[in-house]
Amino acid sequence: MAEESFESLNSLTPIASFVHICLGIMALFLVSRSKDRMWNERLAGYIISWILIFLGFQYLFVSLIEYRVVTRATGVYNNYGGEIFYTFLTYGQRSFECGYTIGLGILPLIYPFPIIQRESVVRILGILVLLLGMVMIPFDIFTEFAYRNVRNIPSYSGYIIWTAIYMRFLFGEMIYGERGSRNISSVAALLLLAAYGKFYMFWLMCLSGLCNVFRGRFMVEDFVEQTKMSSTAEVMAEALLSVTFLAILLGEMWRAYKKGPSGLTYITGVIFLLGILWYLLTLVYIDNITSCVESACEFLSVAWVNWYVVTFQIALYLGVPLLFMFVMLNYNLVDANTGSGSVIGRTTVLLLLLVTSSTIIELIQLILPVPEMITSAVFAGAVVAFIGWEEKIMKQLISKSKNLSGSLSVISPIPDYKISDGEFRFFSFTMLMIGLYAIIISFLFEAMGIHQ
């Protein structure tokens, strides 16, 4: 029973891979048609699209690895063994993770409020992407992933920049009554939740220092021993995680007290409760978790694994694409209102609805002994229902979409640069080159047997 439970740890990965790649490609199509948007909004649309694509290919490699070995530890990266660790699959998975890190590192620089305001910003970021990718991907492989938390430092920029933007426009709304500030602070909070929400549910563990318990277990289980520099970077990330989540939580509580609750209030409230539950569950299973350090590693219980799948993996595999696509559709980053864009937009919403329902059904099958015939019937009913709902949901999103550039023009106007389509294509081409570079480097390093 225990081994079957551990097999469920990554059963959602193939679904996540398909969803992220499809959504990323459809988002790219929508962004390429949205030529009347502000330059920073168009660039943000391209970055988010490629973030989803890189995540999709990362999950694809994880799925292929899982097809060859059964993970018996607590995460998708542990205990591959030497026969699978130094292969094209692991190199590819880590390389696309680098691509995701780069995308997440540059997105806060231009959206929702552009920190870099130069007419050549698209070329600057395109060249920066190439340089970072050409250095980070081979460095990560050469060092046998012992500096992976150092490599993740560029993705920490959102913690600092988005939180600062959120606080600035929250105070602008609550104290100075700036019209439109709520739109900007909401986008900043949604992007924080999309990028880091899967980790925010551990806020209390990190704040209390209980994350050290898991860090000690993973150091024993993990095939890769992290350097002191990497461990320091991980502690820094945990501190940023706790502080930024508390900033969002207190900010939304303040706003709810003054102006009433919103969707963000409920989301942060759920994460707050999950953080407390994770803390209590860790205390209950503390002996089991610390067994690797104190004696011999024991399997984590079935209840712990099921809770991990229902909370963390739902946030990881469903929360991320849902929130990113919500930002793109609800904040007018793309043209999904007319022509083929409307068809693609409706297809995107339908895909999200179907995948959400299929994932929930998969989770029910993992946790409860429900016959497959019943869940298949439920899924078929959901398909029929969603075919009618997707048009209504799309119309609702479009009718209530918010113009972020209009809000900025009132509060803090930004230059309206006329950036050519060729420059945006150049940026997209650089992201494509990073993806191809990741595959080629991974294949060559395995062929050369660099770590044999």
**pLDDT band for position 380 (50/70/90)?**
low
Greater confidence (361 vs 118) lies with: 118
pLDDT of residue 98: 94
Domain residue ranges of the chain, discontinuous segments joined by +: 2-448
With a cut of 60, say whether residue 168 has pLDDT above it: yes
**pLDDT band for position 376 (50/70/90)?**
low
Please provide the average confidence, as pLDDT, over all residues in the chain: 83
pLDDT of residue 331: 87
Looking at mean pLDDT, say which of 26-35, 72-81, 99-108, 344-353 comes out highest: 99-108
Average confidence (pLDDT) over 106-116: 94
CA distances from residue 349 to 59, 192, 295, 324, 326 in whole angstroms, order as listed: 21, 22, 49, 12, 10
Average confidence (pLDDT) over 6-10: 52
Sign of CA dihedral 228, 234, 237, 239: negative
pLDDT of residue 352: 72
**pLDDT band for position 83 (50/70/90)?**
low
Q: What is the pTM of this model?
A: 0.90
With a cut of 80, say whether residue 10 has pLDDT above it: no
pLDDT of residue 71: 46
pLDDT of residue 73: 42
Greater confidence (280 vs 222) lies with: 280
pLDDT of residue 75: 42
Three-state secondary structure along 394-418?
A: HHHHHHCCCCHHHHHHHHCCCCCCC
Report the distance separating Cα 376 and Cα 382, nearest Å: 10
Pick from 26, 18, 70: nearest CA to 45: 26
pLDDT of residue 79: 44
Could you give the percent of the chain with pLDDT greater than 90?
44
- 121 is written with which tokens? 């910003």
Average confidence (pLDDT) over 434-448: 91
Tell me the Ramachandran region of residue 449: left when phi exceeds 0, alpha when psi lies from -120 to 50, beta otherwise: left
Lowest mean pLDDT among 104-113, 127-136, 306-315, 329-338: 329-338
With a cut of 60, say whether residue 3 has pLDDT above it: no
pLDDT of residue 67: 73
- 14 is written with which tokens? 């193939």
Tell me the Ramachandran region of residue 144: left when phi exceeds 0, alpha when psi lies from -120 to 50, beta otherwise: left
With a cut of 60, say whether residue 251 has pLDDT above it: yes
Could you give the percent of the chain with pLDDT greater than 70?
81
Average confidence (pLDDT) over 134-153: 89
Average confidence (pLDDT) over 67-87: 55
With a cut of 60, say whether residue 7 has pLDDT above it: no
Greater confidence (392 vs 102) lies with: 102
**pLDDT band for position 49 (50/70/90)?**
very high
With a cut of 60, say whether residue 363 has pLDDT above it: yes
Lowest mean pLDDT among 37-51, 241-255, 273-287, 395-409: 395-409
pLDDT of residue 382: 63
Instruction: Note whether 278 and 205 are within 8 A (CB).
Output: yes
Looking at mean pLDDT, say which of 72-86, 212-226, 297-311 comes out highest: 297-311
Greater confidence (145 vs 248) lies with: 248
**pLDDT band for position 186 (50/70/90)?**
very high
Three-state secondary structure along the chain?
A: CHHHHHHHHHCCHHHHHHHHHHHHHHHHHHHHHCCCCCHHHHHHHHHHHHHHHHHHHHHHHHHHHHHHCCCCCCCCCCCCCHHHHCCHHHHHHHHHHHHHHHHHHHHHHCCCCCCCCCCCHHHHHHHHHHHHHHHHHHHHHHCCCCCHHHHCHHHHHHHHHHHHHHHHHHHHHHCCCCCCHHHHHHHHHHHHHHHHHHHHCCHHHHHHCCHHHHHHHHHHHCCCCCCHHHHHHHHHHHHHHHHHHHHHHHHHHHHHHHHCCCHHHHHHHHHHHHHHHHHHHHHHCHHHHCHHHHCCCCCCCHHHHHHHHHHHHHHHHHHHHHHHHHHHHHCCCCCCCCHHHHHHHHHHHHHHHHHHHHHHHHHHHHHCCCCHHHHHHHHHHHHHHHHHHHHHHHHHHHHCCCCHHHHHHHHCCCCCCCCCHHHHHHHHHHHHHHHHHHHHHHHHHHHHCCCC
- Backbone phi, psi, residue 84, to 5°: -120, -20
Report the distance separating Cα 73 and Cα 86, nearest Å: 18
Q: Which residues contact 127 (CB under 8 A, 6 or more apart)?
A: 430
**pLDDT band for position 372 (50/70/90)?**
low
**pLDDT band for position 76 (50/70/90)?**
very low
pLDDT of residue 447: 85
- What are the tens digits of pLDDT across the range 267-318? 999 999 999 999 999 998 888 888 877 777 777 777 788 888 888 888 888 8
Per DSSP, the residues of 43-91 read: HHHHHHHHHHHHHHHHHHHHHHHHHHS---SSSTTS---HHHHTSHHHH
pLDDT of residue 305: 80
